[in-house]
Amino acid sequence: MAEQGPLTGEQEAELAELQPKAQQKAQQKQKKNDYNAARARAGRAAAARVVELEALAEQGPLTVEQEAELSELRPKAQQWQKPKDGHADWYGAGKTAAACVAVLEELAGRGGSCGVGMTLGRWGARWWGILPNPA
């Protein structure tokens, strides 16, 4: 916009009106990012502590305090793990679908395009590394 010359009075008024809104939106976004980062750190810390306590439990009995801490942290660690499990399911399903497309194409002996579904499936198979990329 600087290349177009100075702002008109109307443009300056519009800019003055919109700047506080943009700043407020940026602050809200930063606040949300900070909140999400803090939750993620807490979830990772809980999961790591659960692993540590479970390793101690395998070596011998835990103290009463450790047992209480473990029972308190397990739900947090499980809650943290749930989204990761969902991503793993999605990732596995994509690889499975791409592998099925690769097998079906091989069985059908098709080298060219065989419809939108198979084309997208072929792309997915290449994405997941099951089929080589065309030269």
Question: pLDDT by residue (tens digit) across 73-111?
Answer: 888 888 776 666 666 666 666 666 666 666 666 666 655
Residue 48 lies in a domain: yes
Question: What's at 132, amino acid-wise?
Answer: P
Residue 2 lies in a domain: no
Inform me whether the pLDDT recorded for 10 exceeds 70: yes
Q: Report how many domains make up the chain.
A: 1
Tokens matching residue 92: 């596995």
Residue 135 lies in a domain: no
Residue 64 lies in a domain: yes
Residue 89, pLDDT score:
62
Of 108, 102, 109, 105, the residue nearest 125 (C-alpha): 102
User: What's the pTM value of the predicted model, to 2 decimals?
Assistant: 0.48
Q: How far is CA 98 from CA 8, 88, 95, 102, 121, in A?
A: 56, 15, 5, 6, 6
Residue 3 lies in a domain: no
Residue 45 lies in a domain: yes
Domain that holds residue 74: 8-127
Question: pLDDT by residue (tens digit) across 14-64?
Answer: 888 888 888 898 899 999 999 989 988 888 888 888 889 888 899 999 899
